[in-house]
Amino acid sequence: MFKRVIKLLAAAVVIVLLSAIFLAANLNQRFEDMSVRNGNWMTSVATGSEGAGMMLKAAVAIGGLLASTQENSMYYRLSSVAGEPLRLNCRYRIEGTDYDADWWSITAYGWDNYLIPNAQKRYSFNDENLVRNADGSWVITVANTEQAGNWLPVGPSGAPEWRKPGDYDFDLLLRLYTPGKAYLETPESAALPKVTLEACR
């Protein structure tokens, strides 16, 4: 009798875990289905809108985006460059200038949607803490080894071996608070940072 109960409990745990994995995959796909692309960046035109349904709200919750209305905040996510997923063993260059918003930031999140632990305790840059060039432009280097200038650490820990090879190790999230007209009306062509792959080890 006891062995039978243990087997039933084990089977229930497996079913719950498989259901959670399936739900997360389904919600992430749902988020992508309701999104528009702007280069390598992706945003949802429904996030924070009156038309956002239950599935989108669940996808937003899993992604850690505390979305309000679009007029208050918009989010662009980047998990690949030129079709290649972001990797912790690679170095990336983000270039940009100021954007039409009251405040904006760029944050790196690990494959698990959490901030990436690092000794510097540096997880993002925003329009107030960047070191800028003389013309107001700026460059952020994303890497797991120390870099000069605006360095956004993404390591040294890597993604677990059981993850699918095509999955990204981390992604970047651009937050725009009180975004300007272009982001609200033409999010697929509004000005965004340029992200390029520099090298991999």
Domain boundaries, the chain: 68-200
Give CA–CA dist 116/24, Å, rounded: 20
Query: What crossing angle do the helices spanning 54-63 and 2-33 adopt, rounded to 10°?
Result: 100
Question: What letter does residue 136 receive in the DSSP assignment?
Answer: S
pLDDT digits (tens, 9 = 90+) for 133-142: 999 999 999 9
Which CATH number is 68-200 given?
2.60.120.600
Reported pTM: 0.73
User: Per-residue DSSP letters for 4-48?
Assistant: HHHHHHHHHHHHHHHHHHHHHHHHHHHHHHTEEEETTEEEESSTT
Question: Which distant-in-sequence residues (6+ apart) come within 8 Å of 125 by Cβ?
Answer: 105, 106, 140, 150, 152
pLDDT digits (tens, 9 = 90+) for 47-97: 555 555 555 555 555 554 555 566 788 999 999 998 899 999 899 999 999
Rounded to 5 degrees, what are φ and ψ at 175?
A: -105, 135
pLDDT digits (tens, 9 = 90+) for 117-171: 888 999 999 999 999 999 999 999 999 999 999 999 997 655 566 566 568 889 9
Give CA–CA dist 187/43, Å, rounded: 8
